[in-house]
Amino acid sequence: MLIGTANVDELAARAPAVDSFGREPVVCEQAEVLLVTYEIATPHREAMLPPALHPTDPPIVTWLVYRCAASPWGRFAMAQTRIECRSGLRLRAFLVSAVIDNAAAAEALATRYGFGTRHGQIELHRYYDSLHAAVATNGRNILELIVSDPVPLSPADVQYVANINLARTPRGVRLVQVEPRYQVQRVERGRPRVVGFDGAAWGDDRVQPVHPVSASLAVADITLPPVRFVCRPDVLAFDGTEQVN
């Protein structure tokens, strides 16, 4: 059985602090949601995950981009780099890091849900035959994606994997399970291509995308419910899962 081997103390050194878990759901209506999936060419798949998590075979990276026209914190966009994994029997996505363009949203998402973010710019441009996405920090692109030849897809055919975010919480260092619900109005799929990706700028230069898997662009209402579970990062989920009241 494959198990993560990353040093928890090193990961925790850059993890955000959760003050208290939110008790009310947060809704972002009519958001654009871009999901791009790639296989990773790396011999370090175990080293990218803490011991509580299991790497997938093959190892997978996903980029999940939100552009939210309305939220409790105003308009914002956020882009995430995540490593697919399993927590116990559940498929999850371990957050490497995220970029966001709204300071109020960044603070709330960090202190309630454990999203580790930094400020940057996120662009989504839709053309008749393609979609172009770019993420920049300090004036330099750290991710650039093109999704070509979009075709309609049934809303029932798209699925999103829940996040698992490492954070410093009142319970100690924990993996915070974040389970957004998506009410999809319309969705398209297309052929993804990575134009540029700087793994080191996202926090892990071992993430090397090599083979496209899938891409989708949806319009959906996103609901972030209160956190229900956290996990110890140093033991398997079967032993380390804790319910949040």
Q: Provide block-wise average pLDDT over 10 residues at a time, the chain (245 residues).
A: 92 94 91 98 90 95 97 97 95 98 97 97 95 96 97 95 97 97 97 97 95 97 96 95 91
What residues contact residue 161 under an 8 Å CB cut-off, 6+ apart? Answer: 62, 82, 84, 91, 92, 93
- Identify which of 229, 73, 215 has the alpha carbon closest to the alpha carbon of residue 163: 229
Instruction: State the Cα–Cα distance between residues 1 and 141, nearest whole angstrom.
Output: 37
- The structure's pTM equals 0.96
Domains detected in the chain: 8-243 (2.40.400.10)
CB atoms within 10 A of CB 77: 23
pLDDT at residue 241 in the model: 95
Q: What is the dihedral of CA 19, 23, 27, 32, to 10 degrees?
A: 40
CB atoms within 10 A of CB 61: 27
Instruction: Output the six-digit token pair for 72.
Output: 């409790």
Is 72 in a helix, a strand, or coil?
A: coil
pLDDT at residue 49 in the model: 97
